[in-house]
């Protein structure tokens, strides 16, 4: 069973915010960090746009940057993946045009590139001198952090939903697909135990179809908006009428529901450990910077500063 998602209340420890900030710091974007290619070599590609392509390796690199649970959900979300692919191809096409015009040699761009390089070197070196001891945090420190925010560690209500998905390519086949969805819904409602077999045979979301339509245990907010209402009206084991979304029609079966509750320390252990280590690394890094300021005499020319600031 997947670990449930955890909602952190505003009063919980701020270390999680620090951890997220470290992950999303400027320059860490796996997409932005890739270099433009003016000419793309022939080879397998997930998608192409003119001279540009998104390779299987590039897509795998993207998936490797996200947590395992998110990765599984992303693999089943074709719309999100295809949006990323289209955006990445557009970025590459723009970079190709800029490269052809020598944009990287413009003085203002060159200055920004030097500044970005300095920041990359600064962050990487500072990270190397602010390593957190491997044994941190201890079991007692973890327990203390958990207890400090215990009232706010909440898992939302979770729903295990199975679906039969029928895509709508264009308006011309909308009614045909609707009729098929209605027929499948009636079959599944009359024999809910056959839902998995129907999903395996008819669902066009092949990732979930191979699992009998199972989309996994997840909070309501992660479901397609149009599906949420149908799920909240279902009892466990029941099958919905067809639900239409922007992509097509969904026939939904609610197979499990778990109420909201406080998360346990075991469920939070990895998340909390990473957050505490990130917080400690920030503290060590700040102490290192403060130490640099104390190694020599610091002077600030107030007159020059006022002149620059226009005073």
- The reply to whether 63 falls in a domain is no
Model pTM score: 0.51
Instruction: Determine contact, residues 240/234, Cβ cutoff 8 Å.
Output: yes
- For residue 228, what are the domain limits? 157-261
Contact 261, 286 (CB under 8 A): no
The reply to whether 50 falls in a domain is no
Give pLDDT, residue 13. 39
Domain membership of residue 142 (yes or no) is: no
Tell me the pLDDT of the chain (311 aa) as tens digits: 334 343 333 333 333 333 333 333 333 333 333 344 444 455 688 899 988 998 999 888 877 887 777 777 777 788 888 888 899 899 999 999 999 999 999 999 999 999 999 999 999 999 999 999 999 999 999 999 999 998 888 889 999 999 999 999 888 899 999 999 999 999 999 999 999 999 999 999 999 999 999 999 999 999 999 999 999 999 999 999 999 999 999 999 999 999 999 999 999 999 999 999 999 999 999 999 999 888 778 888 888 888 888 86
CATH number (domain holding residue 179) = 3.10.50.40
Pairing of strands 158-167, 214-219: antiparallel
- C-alpha to C-alpha distance for 19 and 218, rounded to whole angstroms: 23
For the chain, what is the domain count?
1
Q: Residue 173 forms beta bridges with which residues?
A: none
- Does residue 241 fall inside a structural domain? yes
């Amino acid at each position: 069973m997947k670990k449930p998602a955890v909602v952190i209340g505003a009063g919980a420890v701020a270390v999680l915010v620090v951890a997220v900030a470290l992950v999303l710091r400027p320059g860490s974007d796996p997409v932005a960090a890739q270099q433009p290619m003016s000419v793309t070599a022939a080879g397998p590609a997930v998608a192409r746009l003119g001279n540009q392509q998104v390779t299987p390796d590039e897509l795998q690199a993207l998936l490797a940057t996200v947590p395992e649970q998110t990765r599984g959900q992303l693999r089943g979300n074709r719309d999100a993946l295809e949006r990323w692919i289209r955006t990445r191809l557009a970025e590459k096409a723009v970079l190709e045009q800029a490269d052809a015009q020598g944009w990287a040699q413009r003085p203002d761009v060159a200055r920004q590139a030097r500044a970005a390089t300095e920041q990359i070197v600064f962050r990487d070196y500072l990270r190397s001198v602010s390593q957190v001891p491997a044994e941190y945090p201890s079991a007692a420190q973890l327990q203390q952090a958990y207890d400090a925010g215990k009232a706010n560690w909440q898992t939302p209500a979770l729903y295990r939903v199975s679906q039969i998905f029928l895509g709508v390519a264009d308006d011309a086949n909308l009614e045909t697909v609707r009729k098929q969805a209605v027929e499948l819904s009636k079959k599944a409602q009359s024999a809910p135990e056959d839902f998995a077999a129907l999903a395996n045979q008819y669902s066009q979301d092949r990732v979930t179809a191979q699992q009998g339509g199972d989309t996994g245990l997840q909070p309501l907010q992660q479901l397609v908006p149009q599906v949420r209402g149908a799920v909240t009206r279902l009892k466990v084991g029941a099958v919905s009428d067809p639900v239409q979304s922007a992509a097509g029609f969904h026939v939904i079966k609610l197979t499990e529901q778990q109420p909201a509750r406080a998360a346990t320390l075991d469920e939070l252990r990895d998340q909390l450990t990473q957050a505490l280590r990130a917080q400690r690394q920030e503290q060590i890094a700040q102490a290192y910077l403060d130490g640099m300021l104390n190694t020599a005499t610091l002077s600030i020319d107030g007159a020059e500063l006022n002149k620059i600031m226009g005073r």
